[in-house]
Amino acid sequence: MDSHGEYEQRVVWTVVGTGIGPLLLAATREGLVNVVFHATDAARDQALEGLAARLGTEPVEAPGSPLLTEAIRQVEAYFAGSRRDFDLPLDWSLIAGFNRQVLRELASGVPYGSVVGYGDLAGRVGRPGATQAVGMAMGANPLPVVVPCHRVVESDGGIGGFGGGLDTKRQLLALEGVLPEPLF
């Protein structure tokens, strides 16, 4: 506790190796707060600086933390093909408003092995004309993979954009059986 009798914010993090490269996982007492693709040294350091600035505390590397143990287990199981759904507490504090509404709908309403169009997702949250705003929400997703923005595609059948890169999006969709495995 701090001097005011309140619990200080604590952010713990680790990097997990996956089939799409290293992922940084960060958690607070509320739950998983951030997942970062391609978490090599530079990307990891930049993400940790951003978390410190936004959450007001320096993240601590703690791979054995109880706050991360279950997230690590579930992420590893997902990439091993033995888990289809994540059942983790999530800390939504890095996202608000329309973006949070869209991401919550995505997390609860678009299951493993399926995709949804940007426009369809906009309609699900009562804003059928907000296709571009849905795209912006996907780009702002602090919890990719766990909140599956890779499952959002263009209505004309195009794959759409992806913060982790299009190759990563293709790999995730192939893992879930939506696309064929890449040949190379």
Q: What is the mean pLDDT of residues 4-25?
A: 85
pLDDT of residue 8: 64
Which strands, in side-by-side order, build the sheet including 12-16? 31-36, 23-28, 12-16, 60-61
One-letter amino acid at 121 equals L
- Record the pTM: 0.91
Q: What is the largest CA-CA distance in the chain?
A: 58
On the question of pLDDT at 183 being above 70, the answer is no
Does residue 149 carry a catalytic annotation? Answer: yes
Q: Give the three-state DSSP class for 36.
A: strand
Structure tokens at 141: 């997703």
On the question of pLDDT at 9 being above 80, the answer is no
How far is residue 168's CA from residue 37's CA, in Å, rounded to a whole number? 9
Lowest mean pLDDT among 32-46, 110-124, 140-154, 169-183: 169-183
Backbone torsions φ then ψ of 117, nearest 5 degrees:
-80, 155
pLDDT of residue 6: 47
Give me the catalytic one of 130, 149, 153, 172.
149
Q: What is the pLDDT of residues 121-143, one digit of tens each?
A: 999 999 999 999 999 999 999 99
End-to-end distance of the chain based on CA atoms, in angstroms?
52
Q: What is the pLDDT of residues 38-83, one digit of tens each?
A: 999 999 999 999 999 999 999 999 999 998 999 999 999 999 999 9
pLDDT of residue 182: 63
pLDDT of residue 179: 85
